[in-house]
Amino acid sequence: MLPVQEIYQQLVTTLQSDPITLLQAPPGAGKSTWLPLQLMRDGHFKHIVMLEPRRLAARNIANYLAQCQNETVGQSVGLRIRQETKVSVNTRLEIVTEGMLTRMLQNDPELSGVDLLIFDEFHERSIAADTALAFALESQAALRDDLTILLMSATLDSERYQQFFDCSIISSHGRSFPIDEIYIPIKDESRWLDAMASIIKQALVEQTGSALVFLPGQYEINRVQQALSDLPANCHVVTLFGEQDKASQQASIAPAAKGTRKVVLTTNVAETSLTIEGIRIVVDSGKRRAASFNLKTGVTELTTQSISRSSAIQRAGRAGRIEPGVVYRLGSKQTFERRNSHDAPEILSADISQLLLEAKFWGAELTDLSLLDSPTAQQIQQATKLLQMLEALDNNNKLTPLGTRMLSFGADIRLAHMLMKAQQLEPQMPGIYTLAAYLIALLESRISHAADLSLALHSQHARPHPVFKQQLKFWLKRLKLTEVRELQTTYLALLVAFAFPDRLAKKRGNGYLLTNGAGAELNNEHWHNEDYLAIASMGGQKGSRIFAAVAFTPAEIEDELTHLFTAQTRCEFDEKTGRFIHQDEVKLGAITVTSQPSKHPLDKSERAKAWLTLFQKQGFELFNEQSDSEQLLIRMCLASNLMPEQFPVITKQSLIDDAQLWLGAFLEDIKTLEQLKKFNYFNALQSCFNWQQQNALNDLFPLRVSVPSGSNIRIEYQLDGPAKLSVRMQEVYGMISTPILAQGKLPLLMELLSPARRPLQLTQDLAGFWQTSYREVQKEMKGRYPKHFWPDNPATSVATSKVKSKSE
Q: What is the mean pLDDT of residues 656-666?
A: 92
Phi then psi for 762, rounded to 5 degrees? Answer: -110, 130
pLDDT-derived band at 319 (thresholds 50, 70, 90) equals: confident
Tens-digit pLDDT profile for residues 774-798 = 999 999 998 888 888 899 999 999 9
pLDDT the model gives residue 155: 75
Tens-digit pLDDT profile for residues 606-616 = 888 889 989 99
pLDDT the model gives residue 298: 80
Tens-digit pLDDT profile for residues 692-704 = 999 999 999 999 9
Count of CA atoms in the C-beta half-sphere (13 A) of 265: 23
pLDDT the model gives residue 273: 63
**Can you tell me the distance from the alpha carbon of 411 to that of 439, in angstroms, rounded to the nearest whole number?**
14
pLDDT-derived band at 101 (thresholds 50, 70, 90) equals: very high
Helix (H, G, I), strand (E, B) or coil at 430: coil
pLDDT the model gives residue 803: 55
* % the chain with pLDDT above 90: 64
Distances (CA, A) of 186 to 136, 288, 330, 602: 46, 18, 7, 68
**Can you tell me the distance from the alpha carbon of 393 to that of 397, in angstroms, rounded to the nearest whole number?**
5
Tens-digit pLDDT profile for residues 223-265 = 999 999 999 989 999 998 877 777 777 888 888 888 899 999 9
**Can you tell me the distance from the alpha carbon of 272 to that of 605, in angstroms, rounded to the nearest whole number?**
62
**Straight-line distance from the first to the last Cα atom of the chain, in angstroms, rounded to the nearest whole number:** 108
Check pLDDT > 60 for residue 686.
yes
Mean pLDDT, the chain, rounded, equals 90
A 10 A CB-CB count for 536 gives 24
pLDDT the model gives residue 807: 43
| Burial profile 263-288: b = 16 or more Cβ within 10 angstroms, e = fewer | bbbbbbbbbbbbbbebbbbbbbbbbb
Cα–Cα nearest to 484, from 515, 460, 452, 456:
460
**Can you tell me the distance from the alpha carbon of 213 to that of 316, in angstroms, rounded to the nearest whole number?**
10
Please, are residues 482 and 433 in contact by the beta-carbon 8 Å criterion? no
Can you list the alpha helix ranges (DSSP code H) found in 42-126? 55-68, 98-107
pLDDT the model gives residue 176: 62
Q: What is the mean pLDDT of residues 141-147?
A: 92
Cα–Cα nearest to 633, from 736, 703, 708:
703
Going along 58-133, which residue ranges are E strands?
Answer: 77-81, 84-86, 93-96, 116-119
Tens-digit pLDDT profile for residues 731-754 = 999 999 999 999 999 999 999 999
The full set of domains in the chain, from first to last, is: 3-171 (3.40.50.300), 179-343 (3.40.50.300), 615-699 (no CATH), 702-796 (no CATH)
pLDDT-derived band at 272 (thresholds 50, 70, 90) equals: low
Check pLDDT > 80 for residue 575.
no
Q: What is the DSSP string of 728-777?
A: EGGGGTT--SPPPBGGGTB-EEEEEE-TTS-EEEEES-HHHHHHTTHHHH
- Angle, vertex CA 656, rays to CA 652 and CA 658, nearest 5: 115
Q: What is the pTM of this model?
A: 0.74
Check pLDDT > 80 for residue 378.
yes
pLDDT the model gives residue 254: 82
* % the chain with pLDDT above 70: 98
pLDDT the model gives residue 126: 87
Tens-digit pLDDT profile for residues 507-551 = 998 889 999 989 988 877 888 888 999 999 988 777 788 999 999
Check pLDDT > 60 for residue 805.
no
Check pLDDT > 50 for residue 808.
no
pLDDT-derived band at 141 (thresholds 50, 70, 90) equals: very high
